[in-house]
Every structure is written in C-alpha cells, then in structure tokens.
Amino acid sequence: MPATYRALADTFVTESGIVVVHCSDPRYQPYCQEFLQKGLGVKHYSLIAVPGGAHFLTLSEYLPKFSWAGWRWTKFLFELQKVTRVILIAHDDCRWYQDLRFGFRPRPMREHQIEDLQAVAREIRTRFAGVRPELYYAKMDAGQVTFEAL
C-alpha cells in the first residue's frame, strides 16, 4: 500500500440534508451503504452508526446518558444543515438487541426493534418540525440482504 492514499473528491458537496442512523454491525455496513446509494439514490449523508442503531435514542429512562449523548449528536447534525430526510435502519440478528443487559423481552426482537424505530420517529417529528423519518428493516437470508420499508 502506498504511504499516501488519495481519493477523488467531489468538491460540489456541502451538506446533504440527510441524516442516517444504523447499527455499526460490520456484517450489514456494506449493504446499508449500497441500499442508501443504489436503493434510495442517497450518495452523501451524515451518519450515526453505533451498536443497535437508533436504539440509543430510546434509552432516556434506562440509560439516560446514552440517550442524552445521542440526542445531542442528532441535534448537532440538525443545527449543521437543513435536514429534510432522516433514515433509520434496523437489522435482523442484531447482537446489541440480543445482549442481556436490556433485560427480559416478552416480544420477538424484530417487533422490539420496530417499536423502537417508531418511537424514535415520533420523537424526531416532535423535536424537529417538518422532518418525516423513513424506517427500514434489513434482513440477510439466502445470500441476499433485503431492506423492507416499514
């Protein structure tokens, strides 16, 4: 590998007005990028990729410091640009959701994740007027990754 790597820069890009929140799971990252670029036509976006994706924005009672930091990052991105789209992606077999630290789950993980995405979407609409979050659920199966609109 050369000591210096150079990429061609698109000098016309400033802020995109698009914020994406998804899990940092390396199994899904390349497919999330492909879905955003080829599926939704989104080339440039602000990204928050953390374990569990948007889950950290739901933890205001259980882990309030997580929630505070998450909403602070989100607010920062909204202050930086006029955000028109927020894209939230959850995925199947998420190891963050499987972690026992979140206690007993009386419902299937997918249902839990979708409820969390919907709760975050409601909160985003409350905090940031005029933004309509888009929700997707990714699943890897039989050599394909599908992104279902919710």
- Min dist CB 50 to Zn ion, Å, is 9
Quote the tokens at residue 63.
Answer: 């882990």
**Which DSSP string corresponds to 80-131?**
HS---EEEEEEETT-HHHHSGGG---SS-HHHHHHHHHHHHHHHHHHHSTT-
Specify the residue, 23 or 32, whose C-beta has the smaller distance to Zn ion. 23
- Min dist CB 94 to Zn ion, Å, is 3
Q: Is the dihedral of CA 19, 25, 26, 31 positive or negative?
A: negative
Radius of gyration of the chain (CA): 16
The Cα 87–Cα 58 span in angstroms is: 16
Residue from 20, 21, 23, 88 that binds Zn ion (CB under 5 A)?
Answer: 23
Closest CA to 87 of 126, 141, 50, 124: 124
89 sits near Zn ion (criterion: CB under 5 A): no
- Min dist CB 9 to Zn ion, Å, is 31
94 sits near Zn ion (criterion: CB under 5 A): yes
> Residue 63 in contact with residue 82, Cβ under 8 Å?
no
List the interface residues with Zn ion, window 101-130 (CB under 5 A).
Answer: none
**How many residues of this chain bind Zn ion (CB under 5 A)?**
4
Specify the residue, 36 or 83, whose C-beta has the smaller distance to Zn ion. 36
25 sits near Zn ion (criterion: CB under 5 A): yes
- Min dist CB 141 to Zn ion, Å, is 16
Binding-site ranges for Zn ion (CB under 5 A) = 23, 25, 94, 96
